[in-house]
Amino acid sequence: MDLPPSDTISQHGYVRVAAARQKVALADPASNAKRILQLAGKAQDQEADVILFGELCLTGYTCGDLFLQPQLLKAAMKAFTEVVQYSEKWPHMALVVGLPWANGDKLYNVAAVVLGGVVKGIVPKSFLPNYSEFYEQRHFSPGFGVQGGWLESGPFQGTPFGTDLVFKWDPTDQRPFGFGMGIEICEDLWVPQAPSGFLAMQGAHLILNPSASNAVLGKAPFRRILATAQSARCIAGYVYASAGPGESSTDLVFDGDLMILENGSLLAQGERFHPESQMILADVDIAKLQTDRLRMKSFGQGLEPTIRYRNCCMNSNSVGDGPPKKRFYRVVDAHPFVPSEPSTLAERCHEIFQTQVVGLAGRVEKLNLERVAIGVSGGLDSTLALLVCAKVADRLGLGRSWIDAVTMPGFGTSSRTLANALTLMEQIKTGSARIDIRQSCLDQLKLLQHKPFGIDIQSMDLVGFMEALKTKQGQPDLVFENVQARTRTMLLMNRGFVVGTGDMSELALGWCTFNADHMSMYNPNTSIPKTLVKFLVEYAARQEFDGPIQKVLLDIVETPISPELLPFTHDGTFAQETEKTVGPYELHDFFLYHFLRYGASSEKLLFLARQVKFDKPWTENEIRHWLGVFLHRFATQQYKRSTLPDGPKVGTISLSPRGDWRMPSDLGSIPWF
């Protein structure tokens, strides 16, 4: 996707990595060097910061006893020297290439890191497979334990050599953050304690793995699981490039697998068994990884104290850190809380729904509750909470009449939501009640001597007041709204143990009335964002319930979101739609996810929002406006979140003050945004 001229991904914390493998010319280093440089040139054209090639890519992996022939080693060194010299043209892109390397009287399988015509370091393979189809110890010495070494001779004498190298970029003006890179080679990933774990704890945010992994039935998915898990365990980007076409087929076939992962997520993958050279690119979010590592206080504990890792400086001697990048090689999800793949979404909804049910069931059992009270509005949130209550009743064998469901129509209640609430309670077969709160609210407004919308109500009855309201449609009156919200909560709490209904998005924005819909004894929705609530209700309609209840549930899914606290219009449309007041939930949930989960700045939030396709094509001015609303409301509404009732954490993000989010309640604003 094209970027606006003002955006540079480096400033937002991204590093562009490439994984490549050329069609190997077996035992022909000169030809391999040409093909490697051709791919590197393409990576340079696409503004890559790092490009990784496969294991022993300069010679091919399947040379066998030819590795012990001095002529092949000399040819490999000559080809490598040409790569190093040519790389002077690319002062801002590091190349990682594999070759056999003699150091002293030992031959190693190594990955060499080259930047701007300089060899920054040589990393030998730690663990050599010598089982089944592999016999690397026949040719190479293991690199495990090789630390603090240097190349002893040759044109690159004095270059750092060992498994203790971390290649580090210091901050620059164009990249205002530093990051590190570590290397492990093929088998190193498959052992119980992979070198990448220690490298990550020493500051490597990128782990590169040049590999030669043959194709065996079932191996590819297992290999992906390993790489995915290691990227998550290390909180790192993991770049994997394996040998492919051109390798000997005497006994083995190599599929040329290419992968780029980030903290457990696959960013890009190549085409296995592709007959020609291939390259993939992705932008790894280093800033996000750094934030996660800061949050995870156990990260870095248990590092072997006897290992002293060395830092190799990767900053270029040329001015700046490369030109601003013009494209963004990364998919940004418009709805980060809602999986786009249907089967994944169904699986996620099932797990969340069961988590809600088990959480509430545990509370009910512990307290031996005779019944629970819940307000049912006919909207999404209360519907989801009611469905959870129904499944709790089924799970504990209590009978659904154990649920004291109450719908409380007020001045803004629509006929549609009221009908849906009544039908829902009837179909679920709850103990239910309908309480019209309008007279009670009018009495309280009189006691407060409040004039709603400027109307003098002291001598009015309910009929007269309803007539007067018809001329005040859509006008705001906070006291008028809050009286209704708190009346409902008072009536519920006087009936017993109250199950809450508000969701995490409302809590983030403070879109709830303090000590009204904000309060309950337990809230199963407390860590579920609004964009996901809709899919949970739809999931429940199709997977957990059947019969007539499905129809009403699906209608609730299609009902506009509204607190229904203001008078209705004459034509029957909502006078108060939430998203017209506080903003679209798809934007707010997008902001919430990246702000809370990864500490994204306002500039980065804007940058990310410009890269995605939302359900509605928001303009940049609209995105800026609603981002300002989000940040202001989030900063000023913490006092509501600080007094939240209990509720289950269902995802990686929660606003519970007891575990996940604490901040001053009187912050007022976030000036550093």
Per-residue pLDDT of 80-107, as tens digits, reads 999 999 999 999 999 999 999 999 899 9
- Dihedral over Cα of 445, 446, 448, 450: its sign: positive
Residue 525: phi and psi, rounded to 5, are -95, 0
Radius of gyration of the chain (CA): 31
**Ramachandran sector of residue 276 (left: φ over 0; alpha: ψ -120 to 50; beta: rest):** beta
**Residue 145: what residue type?**
G
Percent of the chain with pLDDT over 70: 94
pLDDT higher than 90, residue 396: yes
Least confident of 84-88, 467-471, 525-529, 587-591: 467-471
Angle of helix 548-558 versus helix 530-539 axis, rounded to 10:
160
Residue 114: phi and psi, rounded to 5, are -125, 135
Please, what are the domains in the chain? 10-313 (3.60.110.10), 342-582+637-641 (3.40.50.620)
Residue 8 confidence (pLDDT): 77
Residue 481 confidence (pLDDT): 93
Residue whose tokens read 């902001």: 591
57 annotated active-site:
no
Residue whose tokens read 């955006």: 7
Residue 238 confidence (pLDDT): 98
pLDDT higher than 50, residue 5: no
pLDDT higher than 70, residue 573: no
- DSSP state letter for 243: -
63 annotated active-site:
no
pLDDT higher than 60, residue 613: yes
Query: Mapped to the 3 state alphabet, what secondary structure does 269-314 carry?
Result: ECCCCCCCCEEEEEEEEHHHHHHHHHHCCCCCCCCCCCCCCEEEEC
The stretch 15-33 carries a mean pLDDT of: 97
SS3 state at 668:
coil
Residue 193: band (very low, low, confident or very high) from pLDDT cuts 50, 70, 90: very high
Residue 322 confidence (pLDDT): 62
Residue 545 confidence (pLDDT): 83
**Residue 508: what residue type?**
A
Residue 194's DSSP bridge partners are none
Q: Residues with Cβ < 8 Å from 41, sequence gap 6 or more?
A: none
pLDDT higher than 50, residue 319: no
Higher pLDDT: 390 or 571? It is 390
Q: Which of 47, 63, 136, 186 is catalytic?
A: 186
55 annotated active-site:
yes
* Cβ–Cβ under 8 Å, residues 523 and 646: yes
Q: Which of 47, 57, 125, 234 is catalytic?
A: 125
Residue 7 confidence (pLDDT): 62
- DSSP state letter for 645: P
Taking all residues of the chain, what is their mean pLDDT, rounded to a whole number? 92
Residue 323: band (very low, low, confident or very high) from pLDDT cuts 50, 70, 90: low
Residue 577 confidence (pLDDT): 72
The stretch 320-346 carries a mean pLDDT of: 85
Q: Residues with Cβ < 8 Å from 193, sequence gap 6 or more?
A: none
Least confident of 8-12, 207-211, 474-478, 561-565: 561-565
